[in-house]
Chain A
Amino acid sequence: MSGIADAIENVTGAWILPIMVGLPLIVAVVLVIARRLSDDVATLVAASTATVTFVLAILASIAAGPYRDGEMVLELDRSWVPALGVGFHFGMDGVSAPLVLLTGLLGVLVCVHSVRVRPASGRARLLVACYLAVVGGALATFTVMDAVLFFIAFELVLVPMWFAIAFWGDDTQPDAPGRPGGEVARRDAANRFILFTAIGSALMLVGLLYVALQTGTTDLGKLADLAGEGLSHDVQVIAACFIVVGLSVKAPAFGVHTWLPPAHTIAPTGGSVLLAGVLLKMGTYGLVRVAVPILPDGFRTVAPFLALFAVLGIVWAGLACFVERDLKRLIALSSVAHMGFVLLGIASMTPQGLQGALFANIAHGLITGLLFLTVGSLKDRHHTADLALIGAGLRDRVPRLGWLLAFGAVAGLGLPGLAGFWGELLAIVGTWQSTGASSSLGTAGRPFAVVAVVGTVIAAVYLLRVLRLVWHGAAADAPQRVVPDATRHEVMVAAPLVVATVALGLLPWLLLDLTGPAVRVLLIVSGGNQ
């Protein structure tokens, strides 16, 4: 392995990360400009670009190995805006590598998916351009090591995702009684998405600038090395409030999550996959990269509140899923619950909790990506995602889609042996351990852990309800009996997610070994409770 790593380092130097980020962004611009390009060619170009990007991501993660010391590698630091101290600083460590790989993989899958499955409103060329831009922005978020650049990368995904939702989203909702078209619903969902996330990132920017002005640097690496040194407790708490509130919008935490259900439900299939699999992770990644190491004192003060909203989200979203009739919306709501576990793990500030959060991040990306792909296929065929209208007996009517849905649901409820299990287990363990005077959650740690356990039970119940309603049962009772099953193309797109879910479920240390050292470094520099 080290031979490959050396070879890569020799060829690209540290430029591999900027190239990996820039490639999808540049191709996205080219696709927008190239108006003569047919949709067939454009989607193929996008799919190959995404594949090359994914290969670069794999090469970068190999070159960045073996992640034993938890250090930042593949660093590239160039001055950009000296007046603000902002530099083109890229880097990768065990925290970012899994997310980079996940983003690369999901990018390939959504682009390949659109090669065959085209939006009803046409203009697939622009849609895949949006997808590529989102992938590029997300990769930038996970690899930049400068606070202001992080903010820019964070904003980069907003516009393309807005367009994806507003132009290619669900067209089955009524605009007015008896007038379908969905324009009103699409605009509403897209606007809510961009407005919520933009105010979140503006608040985050205020916090980041406050830290930068107090310490004199915007370099996330240097700030993490300082680990809050020179920042008084009050300064840390104020900055942490802004940053945590800002990032919670994206994550999302309960209370500021209301943009998520409409956005995920209305977005086109690929958009939902990227929203759930990539965009939500940007919020939690930001907490791990910025809040925990840079403002350890401040984050410790804010953590109990974050944990409270996390468990509220777990329970509330679970209960909402009990009664939700729309399958796509149900999966969107379940994302709030799953991300609640991630937030809880981060708030615990224990190695187990943080490891669990990072693991659950990836697992949620894989499983929810799979579920959104499957439900998207079901929705395309039934022209609705209403559980009652899809009807019973998917197992018999469309066995492949049925099994994919069943697999996703079982993985989502955290069955041991699949990826969903480990992340949530570790997050709960971390929360349980975060108790005592020196911990971040104090006396609230154990109650929170107990509530989170209840949340896993709720998840099992609502996902089994879904399976009982649409997977089980006699096909004869379904309102639409004859729909085509998943094509080979769709199965091929879903397969990598199934394989990865099983692999991480059976061999969790594949990921834990990657994140472990980096988490220890983050917590040691921040003086977290071991």
Chain B
Amino acid sequence: MNYASGLDTVQSVDWRLLAPVLGPVVAVAAILVLDAIGPERPGFRRLHDVLAVLGLVGAGAGVLLLVADGTTASTLCVPGGGLELPSCSYLVSPLTLTLQGLVIAGALVCLLLAVDGRAAIDRAPHHVLMLVAVTGALSLAGARDLITIVVAFETASLPAIALVALRRDAPGAQGAFTLLLTAVGSLGLLLMGMALLVLSTGSVHLDRIVAALATDPNLPQLSGPVRAVAALGAVLILAGVGFKMSAVPFHLWTPDTYAGAPLPIAAFLSVVSKTAGLAALVVLLPVGLPGLAGVWAPVIGVVAALTVTFGNLVAMRQTVAVRLLAWSTVAQAGWVLLPLSAARPGTPSAVRAATAASVGYLVAYAAASLAAFSVVVIVGRRHPAAEEHSIEAYRGLARREPVASAVLAFALACLAGLPPGIVGLMAKVVVFRPIVGATSWWLAGIAAVNVVFGLVYYVRWGALLFSPASGRALTWRVSVGEGLALGASGAACVALSVWPQAVAGLLPTVLR
């Protein structure tokens, strides 16, 4: 195998390119040291928070520097045998940086929400687990060989399971267990799919897999049966990473786990984990297996259609806020997946456009979802029913908490795709474009119907905010972390609505 030739050479490492991944790692080390020195001192609690935030901010700064550089560069390379170019395990491209930026911003908001919650009573484990999961998600965005991808994927998944269990009650344990079972089962599928890919193409590096499966008639072609093995691998990979995005039929963990997890962790699962899931999917399929798009794109189409429809239909019947959000994230995952079904083999521009639409929708969704979760966290901490509060708790909230209500109303409008949530509307336009371009009318029809399904529950919830309510008008004292999270995510929704180019104009260059 080609890979063997790389083992006897020392890999050169460009630390600058890895800066975004290293930021959280450094913070983890610092927090563990601090915890070892003196976990009992009260002043250390804030120091833990500061270190975790600094780790994420450092990673964000690394991303910004690389964006300012504007170059596409790779590191951790092995030289190719003969005439081949070296193959690299880590690549910094617009795709990498976009996904990393999204992960970092989402993780920051979740961290800010978490610091005042019950789950973060034990600062060190909570922050370490979260930062490690973030590290996994960040490296996943840059990983370009199968081994790095699978390690990064598990680094992103396993700490998230422990985070769910941090609530330390029966529902938390059940949620974590459900997620653990799904993750382990999915890992099996993922590894099987990757094994088939390595078997059929003889390489673990994505660039070599791309070349092996290219449909260019000038290059040597794989034989039909070998191609079929690779195609089976692609489908298994799709099944293996589908759970991370809560795609039907791997979504079943979502409602139980969201309801069992501390609310900020549910937000983390809905944004950071989903981004990691999409990163894995995009890196493996559109980037790694564009030649097999004829196989995986229709499968994604079916999965996306089922996911968006099923998620919406069940969400309509939910009354508990966090369960409604859980099912709504299932539906939204379907929206994220829909454009990928428009990828076609042999047309890199179509694959690129489909991926850009997918990532663009995810950006819009992440902003709106974080804003909605911020308000749910704030309400959950002050409502007698705590994290299991029903959406009836929001009746008349506009009178009591005008700012939080405005943010929630705007976020719901964005999720529903209704003005004034222009970014949600534009995101729907972005999703429809590749589908219509590929003339998949059945998918376009299903998507159009689902626009309406979604409205039912988002509007119902939004209307409650403005319904007249009886009872005392209490003003809440919102903590700094909550306030920052609420303000930042709300501002992001508004900013993206004014400037939807940020959602519509992603990944303008070659997809790598």
- Find residues 138-159 in chain A having any chain B CB closer than 8 Å to their own CB: 148, 151-152, 155-156, 158-159
- Using Cβ atoms and an 8 Å threshold, which residues of chain B touch A238? 441
Q: Separation in Å of the B453 CB from the closest CB of chain A?
A: 9
Q: Which residues in chain B, 459-495, are within 8 Å of chain A measured between CB atoms? A: 459, 463, 466-468
**Contact status B426-A81, CB under 8 Å:** yes
Residues of B within 8 A of A152 (CB): 419, 422, 425
**Interface stretch (choices A202-210, A325-333, A438-446, A477-485):** A202-210
Stretch at the interface among A161-169, A357-365, A418-426: A161-169
Q: Is the CB of B504 within 8 A of A84?
A: yes
A220 to B344, CA, bound (A): 30
A191–B413 contact, CB under 8 A? no
Which residues 178-217 of A have a CB within 8 angstroms of B? 191, 194-195, 198-199, 202-203, 205-206, 209-210, 213
B432 CB contact (under 8 Å) in A162, A166, A194, A205: A205
Q: Which residue of A lies closest to B504 (CB)?
A: A83
Q: Report if B436 contacts A (CB, 8 A).
A: yes
CA distance A194 to B418 in the complex (A): 10
Q: Does any Cβ of B come within 8 Å of A35's Cβ?
A: yes
CA distance A26 to B255 in the complex (A): 39
**Across the interface, do A198 and B451 meet the contact criterion of CB distance under 8 Å?**
yes
Given contacts A191-B459, A199-B448, contact A159 B413 (CB under 8 A): yes
Roughly how many angstroms separate A210 CA and B435 CA in the complex, as a whole number?
9
Q: Are B413 and A199 in contact (CB under 8 A)?
A: no
The residue of chain B having its C-beta at the shortest distance from the C-beta of A137 within the complex is B419
Partner of B419, one of A80, A156, A167, A205: A156
Indicate whether A3 reaches chain B with its CB closer than 8 angstroms.
Answer: no
Q: Do B429 and A159 have beta carbons less than 8 Å apart?
A: no
A121 to chain B, nearest CB (A): 8
Q: Are A84 and B429 in contact (CB under 8 A)?
A: yes
B444 touching A206 by the CB < 8 A rule? yes
B-side interface size class: 35 or more
Tell me whether A195 and B500 are in contact in the complex, defined as CB-CB below 8 angstroms, given that A155-B419, A213-B437 are known contacts: no
Could you say which of A81, A158, A206 contacts B436, with CB atoms under 8 Å apart?
A206
**Which residue, of A148, A162, A202, A203, has the highest number of chain B Cβ atoms within 10 A?**
A202
Cα distance, A402 to B439, chains bound together (Å): 56
A82 contacts chain B at the CB level, 8 A cutoff: yes
* B471 CB, min distance to chain A CBs, angstroms: 18
Q: Is the CB of A163 within 8 A of B448?
A: no
From 40 to 80 in chain A, residues with beta carbon under 8 angstroms from any chain B beta carbon are 80
Q: Which of B429, B447, B463 contacts A166 (CB 8 A)?
A: B463
B429–A194 CB distance below 8 A = no
Chain B proximity mask over A263-307: 1 for CB below 8 Å, otherwise 0 = 000000000000000000000000000000000000000000000
Contact check: which of B402, B425, B441 meets A35 at CB < 8 Å?
B402
State the interface size on chain A (CB cutoff 8 A).
34
Contact (Cβ within 8 A) A209 B419: no
- Closest chain B CB from A152 CB (angstroms): 6
Bound CA–CA A83/B448 (angstroms)? 22
- Contact of B432 with A209 in the complex, beta carbons under 8 Å: yes
Contact B433 A209 (CB under 8 A): yes
A203 to B446, alpha carbons, bound, how many Å? 10
Given contacts A195-B455, A213-B433, are A203 and B448 in contact (CB under 8 A)?
yes
Give the one of B422, B456, B504 with max A CB within 10 A. B504
Complex interface residues of chain B between 390 and 441 (CB less than 8 A to chain A)? 402, 413, 418-420, 422, 425-426, 428-430, 432-433, 436-437, 439, 441
What's the least CB distance linking B430 to chain A, in Å?
Answer: 7
On whether the beta carbons of A81 and B455 are closer than 8 Å, the reply is: no
**Are A81 and B505 neighbours in the complex by a CB distance under 8 Å?**
yes
B 17-56 binary contact with A (CB < 8 Å = 1; else 0): 0000000000000000000000000000000000000000
Pick the contact of A84: B422, B430, B436, B455 (CB < 8 A): B430
Residues of B contacting A83 with CB < 8 Å? 501, 504-506, 508
A residues near B85, Cβ cutoff 8 Å: none
Residues in B neighbouring A84, C-beta threshold 8 A = 426, 429-430, 433, 504
Across the interface, B456 reaches (CB within 8 A) one of A126, A163, A195, namely A195
Which listed residue, B448, B468, B501, touches A202 by the CB 8 Å rule? B448
Taking the closest CB of chain B, its distance from the CB of A30, in whole angstroms, is: 13
Bound complex: CA of A158 vs CA of B419, how far in Å?
A: 8
Say which residue of B428, B444, B447, B452 sits within 8 Å of A195 (CB atoms). Answer: B452
A-B contacts, 27 of them at CB < 8 A, read: A81-B501, A81-B504, A82-B505, A83-B501, A84-B430, A126-B466, A137-B419, A148-B429, A151-B425, A152-B422, A155-B418, A158-B419, A163-B463, A167-B466, A194-B459, A195-B452, A195-B455, A198-B451, A199-B448, A199-B452, A202-B428, A202-B451, A202-B452, A205-B448, A213-B436, A213-B437, A238-B441
| Apart from A83-B508, A203-B448, A213-B433: 14 A-B pairs, beta carbons within 8 A | A81-B504, A82-B501, A82-B505, A83-B506, A84-B433, A137-B419, A152-B419, A152-B422, A159-B419, A162-B463, A198-B455, A199-B448, A205-B428, A209-B432
Chain B residues proximal to chain A, CB less than 8 Å = 402, 413, 418-420, 422, 425-426, 428-430, 432-433, 436-437, 439, 441, 444, 447-449, 451-452, 455-456, 459, 463, 466-468, 500-501, 504-506, 508
The 7 closest A-B pairs by CB, nearest first: A83-B505, A202-B448, A83-B504, A202-B451, A156-B419, A209-B436, A199-B452
